[in-house]
Amino acid sequence: MKIKEVNDYLDYLQYEKNYSKYTILNYKDDIEEFIDYIESEGLEFKDIVYSDIRFYLMYLKDNKHDDNSSIDRKLSSLRGFYKYLANNNIVQTNVFSLVNGVKKAKKLPRFFEYNELEELFNACNLDNALGQRDRLILEMLYATGVRVGELVNVKIEDIDESSRTILILGKGNKERYVTYGDYCSEILDLYLKEGYAKLNINNSPYLFLNSKGGRISDRGVRYILDQIIKKTSIKKNISPHMIRHSFATHLLNAGADLLSVQKLLGHESIKATQIYTHVTTDRLKEVYFKNFPRRLDKNLYYLFLLIKYIL
């Protein structure tokens, strides 16, 4: 679809907002789907009114059978697009600002247990360049909690090995430093000495390279993770964000405070980080009911006290 306003908006997301290619592709699909619908109804996307959006939502629900999460994402994409159009005087108002997101059940972030992460790490072959790179991808995602779009943009010059910090360019071109520990440092040293030297045939400044010596893409990382988990006994889907969830959840379970985790994740709002407190609360309940004696039946509790007294 060649619509100037759409292409200009996608360029804006890429060059000014620094969104990942994966995110931009989702925006593109959502916007083009809406414009296709509007044109099929004989309307012009610049002239839509509130009632047109309501009919579109009915179309997504009744005809396409989209779930609430998908509909909410599409509304978010279109809200951002029409805000851009309004700010550039292409439309008079952002009509999507009048539309609330659909209600959806809150999903707790899925994460890996530490033993599962160990199995993932051990599935990488450190005897070759690609295996070393893949292991470092896992180690760095888990050690820093960075987004996949941030990971693939890491350059060699961004890494300070003496302080074990990495300069990350996050959403909205905001910079932050993340830290990594011994395990990640060890694999990073190995990769830079061996694997990176073999892969970097084009003198690339980027840390993570594909087999042709170019910067690896977001989708490339997702494909690599899919291949790694197939070598394990883990029966879960994997994504870079799931490792990010694991990073945050494990920190909170170990006693880290929410504000520190917020800064490490690069969240603008504490609300985005608070979702992890639900996970840690569930874990606390699990520990409580598994270990606290007074949650038992009274007779079992007294038996527990008797055994403890005898011992």
Q: Are residues 129 and 195 in the same domain?
A: yes
Domain count, the chain: 2
Q: Residues 79, 14: one domain? A: yes
Residue 213 located in a structural domain = yes
Q: Name the packing angle between helices 114-122 and 240-253 (round to 10°).
A: 140
How confident is the model at residue 96, as a pLDDT? 87
pLDDT at position 153, please?
95
167: tokens are: 């300069």
131 and 183 inside one domain? yes
Inside any domain, residue 298: no
**166 phi and psi, to 5 degrees?**
-130, 135
Annotated catalytic residues are 147, 171, 241, 244, 267, 276
How many residues make up the chain in this entry? 311
The answer on 216 and 121 residing in a single domain is: yes
Based on the domain organization, do 63 and 136 belong to the same domain? Answer: no
Q: What's the confidence (pLDDT) of residue 171? A: 79
Q: Do 58 and 167 sit in the same domain of this protein?
A: no
| Per-residue pLDDT in tens (0 to 9) along the chain, 311 residues | 578 999 999 999 999 888 888 889 999 999 999 999 999 999 999 999 988 998 998 899 888 988 888 888 899 999 999 999 999 999 988 988 878 766 555 667 789 999 999 999 999 999 999 999 999 999 999 999 999 999 999 999 999 999 999 999 887 788 999 999 999 999 999 999 999 999 999 999 999 999 999 999 999 999 999 999 999 999 988 999 999 999 998 988 888 888 888 988 988 888 888 887 766 665 555 655 566 555 545 555 555 555 555 54
pLDDT at res. 163: 95
- Examine the domain organization and report whether 90 and 130 are in the same domain: no
Question: Do both 131 and 210 map to the same domain?
Answer: yes
Q: Would 71 be classed as within a structural domain?
A: yes
228 and 120 fall within a common domain: yes
| 54 and 126 both lie in a single domain | no
Contact 147, 170 (CB under 8 A): yes
CATH number at residue 230: 1.10.443.10
Query: Do 176 and 77 share a structural domain?
Result: no
For residues 145 and 258, membership in a common domain is answered with yes
Query: What is the predicted pLDDT for the residue at 289?
Result: 59
Evaluate if pTM is beyond 0.75.
no
CATH of the domain at 78: 1.10.150.130
In a domain, 301, yes or no: no
Range of the domain at 17: 4-98
